[in-house]
Amino acid sequence: RTGIAVAAAVAVLAGIGGGVYALTDGGSGGDDAGAAQQDRGDRKDPFGDSGGGNGGGEDGRSPAPDSPEQSEPPTIDSGSVTDAVSGISLPIPDGWSGQELQVGASVTSDDSYKCPGDTSKTCTKGGAYSAPAMVLGTKGGTAEEVAKADIEANAEESYGGKSYGEITSHDELLSKAVTVAGQKGYLVRWKAVTAKGSDGYVESLAFPSPADPERIVVVRFGVDTDQEQTVLDEIAKGIEVDTSGGGGGDGQDV
């Protein structure tokens, strides 16, 4: 679970090319995004080999391979952080910080430690980030289909790989319909059992984007099991429609 936040912003922009314009221009041109993503080579993690979905380690502070140099987004310590592409904001829990990305947004626990499977890397106690389902490569035409299709990839990204050894098993804790930012969504929550170090709660939350209801946005969560599950609910319930006027946009700045 290392450094996905910055790697996400850099690698997505580099990888989907004109698809970013399509996302911010009302969702047309999705085939271009999918084709560009395919050109990158069927990687399990579309954001690069960062090792996980909710970390804040050193890996993610460097640009992804074959991507342009880009400065790290500023850190926000309280309040909320905006995902302008999807037209939402994520709340920042106490003891966490947030970053607004060029594609999505992230919130990450400030409590970090050396990854048990690879002590040269830094892991965190928890985190969450948002991105359009099409960017993640998650299939499905409804929020329920997307959430159920995304959870395995989320678990692998958050707690699989070298950082925690591997996921040896999982238990499904929740699978239910929810309302998020006024939209009818769906969430799936697992407890992932790892080979090394802490086990984790992982959750995939999917719902139509307020900026474009035809597009599904996914929020991926990963939190160590020594943390309260209530932080997942706190973030989910605190997701709001972005009222800053940046939702969707015209794509020109991107």
Question: Does 251 map to a domain?
Answer: no
CATH label of the domain that carries residue 69: 3.40.1000.10
Question: Does 250 map to a domain?
Answer: no
Q: What is the pLDDT of residues 92-116, one digit of tens each?
A: 999 999 999 888 999 999 999 998 8
Question: Does 253 map to a domain?
Answer: no
What pLDDT score does 235 carry?
96
Q: What is the DSSP letter of 5?
A: H
Secondary element (H or E) of residue 121: none
What pLDDT score does 166 carry?
86
Question: Does 193 map to a domain?
Answer: yes
Q: Look at the chain and report how many structural domains it folds into.
A: 1
The pair of structure tokens assigned to 45 is 């993690």
Phi and psi of 146, rounded to 5°?
Answer: -65, -45
Question: Does 249 map to a domain?
Answer: no
Spans of the chain, pLDDT less than 70: 1-71, 245-254
What pLDDT score does 209 carry?
96
Question: Does 254 map to a domain?
Answer: no
Cα-Cα end-to-end distance for the chain: 27
Q: What is the pLDDT of residues 149-196, one digit of tens each?
A: 999 999 998 898 888 888 999 999 999 999 999 999 999 999 999 998
What pLDDT score does 56 carry?
33
What pLDDT score does 87 carry?
95
What pLDDT score does 245 carry?
54
Cβ contacts of 99 within 8 Å, gap of 6 or more? 5, 6, 72, 73, 74, 75, 76, 81, 105, 106, 108
Question: Does 158 map to a domain?
Answer: yes
The pair of structure tokens assigned to 174 is 């929740």
What pLDDT score does 219 carry?
96
The pair of structure tokens assigned to 154 is 């989320």
What pLDDT score does 38 carry?
34
* Residue with the two structure tokens 């310590």: 77
Question: Does 118 map to a domain?
Answer: yes
CA atoms within 13 A on the CB side of 19: 24
Helix axes 30-39, 4-16, angle to 10 degrees: 110
Q: Show the domain range for 128.
A: 4-241
The pair of structure tokens assigned to 12 is 């997505």
